[in-house]
Amino acid sequence: MKVMVTGGAGFIGSHIVDAMLAAGHDVCVVDDLSTGHRENVDARARIYDVDIRDEAALEAVFEQEKPEVISHQAAKANVRESMVRPVLYAEVNILGSLNLLEATRRHEVRKIIYASTGGAVYGDLEYVPADEAHPINPLDPYGASKHQVEHYLYIYGRHYGLDYTVLRYPNVYGPRQDPEGEAGVIAIWTGRMLKGRSTIVYGSGGQERDFVYVGDIARANVMALDKGGGEIINLGSSIGTSINEVFDLLQRYTGYTQERTHGPAKQGEVFRSFITHEKAERLLGWLPTVSLSEGLERTVDYFRR
């Protein structure tokens, strides 16, 4: 199958490229390399350094590649930055995605698989694990922009017959995540522990998150090529893991000798956030397969190299 991965030079997108290639698909990448890196992309995939907001450049790629399916990962994905730059987040995440959707109308694209977020679209969780029927209440411009596109997909499905699957990701971690970034506590701590730098656990460390290894997320994208049409699907583990547990495992794998130190809790931080996997299991046959300890070991190995 001819697959286009937008954001394919980024953390998650580059693993999707690997998984698509391993499954025998023909892959091209559209990425403006704003947070992604060329080195992340397997040499067998063709890269187009194109901003999804650039309608003409995007059109030229569609003319050239004629993708059958798009795995749409390109986005601005930093919650804190979105509070400061809400217009930029709307431009890239909403208008950029609309550009892509419009291109699917002019070309024979069968399906879009869309990277959404369980962490940001549900807002404060009323119950855990949150399933797909949980109320949608994004608390920041990032979450709001990701959710908007879920609804545009519904509209394009309804009016133009475009098939789609929305995948709501939990806290994804693994090799190639940015250790200098704001989003991934695992990448940040791994980077700092390997350099012997200080680390801080904000609050008690009892707060729970839903950590799923990036390879499992990539595999779900491959499964969604021909399953889960017209559906919104959580890719959670259904289990909460405390931040302290993550710290202790990373400390062991990195050989970090400093004690765990705690700082003040972050204001407004949700205490327990994890999402379901049952619908993904039913519709895609997907379950996370990489345990946290195995995934963390692989991540530490990668950062060490």
| Catalytic residue set | 142
Q: Which residues contact 16 (CB under 8 A, 6 or more apart)?
A: 5, 8, 71, 73, 217, 218, 221, 222
Which of 17/300 has CB closer to ligand NAD?
17
Interaction between residue 132 and ligand NAD (CB under 6 A)? no
Which of 188/259 has CB closer to ligand NAD?
188
Interaction between residue 33 and ligand NAD (CB under 6 A)? yes
R_g over Cα of the chain: 19
Interaction between residue 73 and ligand NAD (CB under 6 A)? yes
Interaction between residue 172 and ligand NAD (CB under 6 A)? yes
Tell me which of 3, 13, 27, 192 binds ligand NAD, using CB under 6 A: 13
Q: What are the residues facing 71 on neighbouring strands?
A: 5, 113
The per-residue DSSP string of the chain comes to -EEEEETTTSHHHHHHHHHHHHTT-EEEEE---SS--GGGS-TTSEEE---TT-HHHHHHHHHHH--SEEEE------HHHHHH-HHHHIIIIIIIHHHHHHHHHHTT--EEEEEEEHHHHS-S-SSSSB-TTSPP---SHHHHHHHHHHHHHHHHHHHH--EEEEEEE-EEE-TT--TTSSS-HHHHHHHHHHTT----EETTS--EE-EEEHHHHHHHHHHTTSSSTTEEEE---S--EEHHHHHHHHHHHHT--SPP-EEPPPTT--SB--B--HHHHHHH-----S-HHHHHHHHHHHHH-
Tell me which of 35, 99, 241, 242 binds ligand NAD, using CB under 6 A: 35
Residue 158 CB, nearest distance to ligand NAD (Å)?
Answer: 23
Interaction between residue 92 and ligand NAD (CB under 6 A)? yes
| CA gap 152, 225 in Å, rounded | 19
Which of 98/261 has CB closer to ligand NAD?
98
Piece of the chain touching ligand NAD by CB under 6 A; list 68-76, 148-156, 197-205, 251-259: 68-76
Interaction between residue 96 and ligand NAD (CB under 6 A)? yes
Which of 117/258 has CB closer to ligand NAD?
117
Interaction between residue 169 and ligand NAD (CB under 6 A)? yes
Tell me which of 1, 23, 46, 53 binds ligand NAD, using CB under 6 A: 53
Q: What residues from 174 to 233 belong to the interface with ligand NAD (CB under 6 A)? A: 183
Residue 159 CB, nearest distance to ligand NAD (Å)?
Answer: 24
Interaction between residue 9 and ligand NAD (CB under 6 A)? yes
Q: What are the residues facing 202 on neighbouring strands?
A: 263
CB 142 within 8 A of CB 149: no
Interaction between residue 145 and ligand NAD (CB under 6 A)? no
Interaction between residue 82 and ligand NAD (CB under 6 A)? no
Residue 10 CB, nearest distance to ligand NAD (Å)?
Answer: 2
Which of 31/140 has CB closer to ligand NAD?
31
Residue 74 CB, nearest distance to ligand NAD (Å)?
Answer: 4
Question: Can you give the binding site for ligand NAD, defined by CB under 6 A?
Answer: 7, 9-13, 31-36, 51-53, 73-77, 92, 96, 115, 117, 119, 146, 169, 171-172, 183
